[in-house]
Amino acid sequence: MIDHATPADIDAISDMLGEVTVPLFDRHDGCVLVYRLQAVPRGYLAWRSDDTRGRVRLVHVFVEPNFRRHGMARRMIARFEAEIARSGATGWFARTRDAGPSARALMRRIGADGADGVFEKRLQTPHSSSSRATIPR
Q: What is the pLDDT of residues 14-41, one digit of tens each?
A: 666 654 454 555 555 778 889 999 988 8
State how many domains the chain has: 1
Q: Is the pLDDT of residue 5 over 80?
A: no
CA–CA separation, 95 vs 68, rounded Å? Answer: 21
Q: Is residue 137 part of a domain?
A: no
Strands 118-122 vs 91-95: parallel, antiparallel or unpaired: antiparallel
Q: What is the pLDDT of residues 37-67, one digit of tens each?
A: 998 889 999 888 876 678 899 988 989 989 9
Q: Structural domain of residue 52, as residue ranges?
A: 2-94
- The residue with greater pLDDT, 123 or 2, is 123
Q: What is the pLDDT of residues 76-86, one digit of tens each?
A: 999 999 999 99
128 band by pLDDT with thresholds 50, 70 and 90:
very low
Q: Which pTM value belongs to this model? A: 0.73
Which CATH number belongs to the domain containing residue 38 in this structure? 3.40.630.30
pLDDT of residue 122: 93
Q: Is residue 79 part of a domain?
A: yes
CA–CA separation, 3 vs 120, rounded Å? Answer: 24
Q: Is residue 57 part of a domain?
A: yes
HEC per residue, the chain: CEEECCHHHHHHHHHHHCCCCCHHHHCCCEEEEEEEECCEEEEEEEEECCCCCCEEEEEEEEECHHHCCCCHHHHHHHHHHHHHHHCCCCEEEEECCCCCHHHHHHHHHCCCEEECCEEEEECCCCCCCCCHHHCCC
